[in-house]
Structure 1
């Protein structure tokens, strides 16, 4: 039996910036009782399908309009009680600090003994717990390319994705709507023969199919989500225990709120829409590999071997979900065999200033600084200069 009692302090610092379109910028920071950040929390206005996820440091930004003042902001994160407040009520607070007390999670022995049935039911009931009807995901997709721990190339795409959820083997259509990227400072320019976003679906174990009898399962923790008790079940492959998967399963709904996988240390987080169906909220993974370098590069980079350590750090943040078929507009423009860094779309600075980009995390700031210091060019200038 596992028990948890925790307190969440949600620090929401609000700044209002009214432009010609009456834009309202709501900026906040989410931390736990010990003031540690709560990353990847779903921050939404469910009634309008507006949302984002908090960054590595627990920060988030929502850009709203005057009409949203009567709407409610909802913050959901595993392990914490869902917090809801009207936009206008939050603006009226004298002190922008909200304290939430967590429910105590205490699962009985019957629940723990019967955990294998939860895995079975969760996988079987994906068609009932997830959003299967075609919907559009608006995704901020990032890939940092690193060499020996230094960021040398950044690509960010704003994607429109047509999806039918985890019961579908892959995304049906992907449109690269907007793009920005840094100068490419890599020495080893290894390209992927596909747009990296397609792997969100293709490498998702829920979509590929999890054969539960191939794993040895055990409960390793419990938590909560949206007021529901959640058990954390880990499965290790019987033939190769190094291959593992973790499922965060709702005790009542059998919904899978989060999935972690040994492959690329991938994380998938799902949130409820206004109909209570689960849709993708956040994903990250990191591909680490080594490449052989020339003797000249070895000397130039002061390497001790003929190999250089490379990594691609991927992150996908769902900024909005459109369920109205009449409003779904996805124009598939993915080109087979083309790396994400080779899409040449002119940088639209106005667009990037007006979407719900999360605040720059410490990792993002550090990586951006590395990219700027390579040749002394501000990242914003690189976005503007790199056109074709």
Structure 2
């Protein structure tokens, strides 16, 4: 690992201290080794949503809001390189075997590579145009399988009243394609259902995740006003943060924007943020994180979003709930964590492939408690903890009890 210093005229010097509190447990049933750690910056603040994984084997996860991560590796991974990366910080690499055997506790990374001293001649709109045109080159665009943990919480009147988790097998051609090629629900579990408004989506939420991703929508660059708002770096590459606002927006849509994090060397898009406000009670905030694989191609790492809206209820429910309005303020909280990507066609294995279009809470997949006990789930995020706390507070029933009671 290089600790070379670089100079920059645009960003303050950055220093990353990754304090890794190592926890190693053996999962004998699957012959796996679980490694855990916590990632901080120089101010001892946790770094959320950092990508953690073994790019050469397409194995990975993300840190939660507290900078904590956990993932399982096998004996075959001992000589592989474990990488921890986050936008604004230099990628940290260490051999898996060294990570375990050396009982690493503190890693100090010196200055990040940010060298934007030279004048950037290209206009923001031109940079966006090139980045979108090169999506197929900069991202993994051959057919591949994504194994993903997808969670959705249904919120009514400010409280989570239903949650469903799916372990998905997705076939995809990357963000340069308009939609997913195939979706399989390998495993599923649901909480108790305490909803009274029953707002549903017309398709599985992972399809919606794909449809609202600006990278997949064939954006007409000329329709937006693009502006460079900041710069940073990722894995040794300078990044421009460019925000676009649609020119034809109405007054109540002024807060609508797209934000792209674009590498100046490769024109790869490392992060996408979206904010949409259709009205006072209808808005969406979402982001997508991408990371490099061993071939330098960008692949999806993490996504979350929350969409707010109003849901009508009957007069009877309005009376029972003692509400003054016929519309309940509702929202969906979504979270997707990519755990593995498979590129070997011989190993593709999509379980319970779905073709019908219906709400993800309406799919009835046989509950496999052993799977959920054995899988190495990523550490709980605040996004997830909030939903669990709210669900358990309704009748005081622990979520695990709900899983066992409802799904069996």
Query: Of 130, 133, 138, which aligns to 2:142?
Result: 133
Counterpart for residue 403 of structure 2: 383
Change (3 A) 1:305 1:21: closer
Contact 1:63–1:354 (CA under 8 A) maintained in structure 2: no
1:190-235 Cα shifts (integer Å, max 9, x gaps): 1212111111222211111111111111110001111101010111
1:148-171 Cα shifts (integer Å, max 9, x gaps): 221111100000000001121100
Contact 1:259–1:267 (CA under 8 A) maintained in structure 2: yes
Q: Does 1:29 align with 2:49?
A: no
Query: Of 111, 120, 132, which aligns to 1:111?
Result: 120
SS in 1 for 2:76: helix
SS in 2 for 1:116: helix
Counterpart for residue 196 of structure 1: 205
Q: Separation in 2 of the partners of 1:353 and 1:59?
A: 20
Q: Separation in 2 of the partners of 1:212 and 1:232?
A: 16
TM-score w.r.t. the length of structure 1 is 0.94
Change (3 A) 1:112 1:219: farther
Offset, 1:112: 5.9
Change (3 A) 1:211 1:90: same
Contact 2:81–2:96 (CA under 8 A) maintained in structure 1: yes
1:86-141 Cα shifts (integer Å, max 9, x gaps): 12212233552222223152413522654433212111111211111100000110
Counterpart for residue 299 of structure 2: 279
Counterpart for residue 13 of structure 1: 21
Q: Does 1:177 align with 2:186?
A: yes
Q: Separation in 2 of the partners of 1:330 and 1:228?
A: 35
Contact 2:170–2:350 (CA under 8 A) maintained in structure 1: yes
The number of aligned residues is 388
Change (3 A) 1:114 1:235: same
Contact 2:21–2:104 (CA under 8 A) maintained in structure 1: no
Task: Please provide the CA RMSD for this pair.
Answer: 1.9
Q: Does 1:50 align with 2:59?
A: yes
TM-score w.r.t. the length of structure 2 is 0.90
Query: Of 246, 254, 276, which aligns to 2:267?
Result: 254
Q: Separation in 1 of the partners of 2:271 and 2:331?
A: 24
Offset, 1:318: 0.6
Change (3 A) 1:94 1:321: closer
Offset, 1:300: 4.2
Q: Separation in 1 of the partners of 2:10 and 2:234?
A: 15
- Unmatched 5+ residue regions in structure 2? 1-8, 277-283
Offset, 1:244: 1.6
